[in-house]
């Protein structure tokens, strides 16, 4: 059985993950409107990943005989000046999420909740990839320096990202990713 304060912290993180999905869906919609289909595809895939992260935490709380209590979501920003501004914002957001997981691990350690700590280690490593992915796109956009041709090519590249299936995590147990 999970302790109440660890459960509350995990419920809060479920909200953070859905908030992340909401933010990336807002970016996807903005890219779509600007006819940057590849950028939009990348952000939709990212939003799908965030929902999988949320469900991984959701399933874990249930598996530990805890109670999932969903919280309200923030209204995300609707428009960004350009892809660079959006991706810088995504990169900063991922750094914020990394901080959330470090705080969660600290809480789990304080409570000697080893199962939660081990589960959270997956997220810590996932955050290394998430920060690297957004950071790499920021670097590419900075190198392009506003080139239309560069933007076209990057849009093609980002459009090859495939969408994950959140349904897998909804159906699965704590192992669903
Ligand atoms: Fe983008 O990160 Fe979830 O956890």
pLDDT per residue as tens digits for the range 117-137: 999 999 999 999 999 999 999
Q: How far is CA 115 from the centre of its chain?
A: 22
Mean pLDDT computed over 101-107: 98
Contact yes or no for 43/28 (Cβ under 8 A): yes
Q: Which CATH class is domain 4-70+78-166?
A: mainly alpha
- Closest ligand 1 atom to 130 CA: 1
Query: In the chain, where are the structural domains located?
Result: 4-70+78-166
CA of 17 to the centre of ligand 1 (A): 6
Mean pLDDT computed over 17-26: 98
- Confirm or reject: Cβ of 16 under 6 Å from ligand 1: no
**pLDDT tens digits along 47-80:** 999 999 999 999 999 999 999 999 999 999 999 9
- In sequence order, which residues have a C-beta less than 8 Å from that of residue 99 and are 6 or more positions away? none
CA of 50 to the centre of ligand 1 (A): 5
Residue 172: predicted pLDDT: 47
Q: Which of 138, 108, 139 is nearest to 123 (CA)?
A: 108
**Biggest alpha carbon–alpha carbon distance for the chain:** 56
**pLDDT tens digits along 26-53:** 999 999 999 999 999 999 999 999 999 9
Residue 176: predicted pLDDT: 40
Residue 173: predicted pLDDT: 47
Give the residue, by CA position, lying nearest to ligand 1 atom 3.
Answer: 50
Q: How does residue 146 score in pLDDT terms, banded at 50, 70 and 90?
A: confident
Residue at token pair 């933007």: 151
List C-alpha distances in Å: 148 to 135, 154, 174. Answer: 20, 10, 44
Instruction: Give the C-alpha separation, 167 to 51, whole Å.
Output: 9
Give the residue, by CA position, lying nearest to ligand 1 atom 4.
Answer: 53
Q: In 10 A of CB 161, how many CB atoms?
A: 16
Output the pTM of the full model.
Answer: 0.92
pLDDT above 90: residue 174: no
């Amino acid at each position: 059985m999970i302790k109440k304060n660890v459960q509350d912290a995990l419920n809060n993180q479920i909200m953070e993950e859905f908030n992340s999905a909401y933010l990336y869906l807002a970016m996807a919609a903005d890219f779509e409107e600007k006819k940057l289909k590849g950028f939009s595809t990348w952000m939709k895939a990212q939003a799908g990943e965030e929902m999988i992260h949320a469900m991984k935490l959701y399933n874990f709380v249930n598996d530990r005989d805890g109670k999932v209590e969903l919280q309200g979501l923030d209204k995300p920003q609707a428009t960004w000046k350009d892809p660079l501004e959006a991706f810088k914002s995504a990169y900063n957001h991922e750094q914020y999420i990394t901080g959330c997981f470090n705080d969660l691990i600290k809480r789990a350690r304080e409570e000697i909740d080893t199962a939660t700590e081990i589960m959270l280690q997956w997220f810590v490593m996932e955050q290394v990839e998430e920060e690297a992915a957004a950071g790499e796109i920021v670097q590419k956009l900075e190198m392009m320096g506003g080139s239309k041709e560069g933007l076209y090519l990057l849009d093609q590249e980002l459009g090859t990202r495939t969408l994950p299936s959140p349904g897998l995590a909804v159906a699965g147990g704590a192992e669903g990713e």
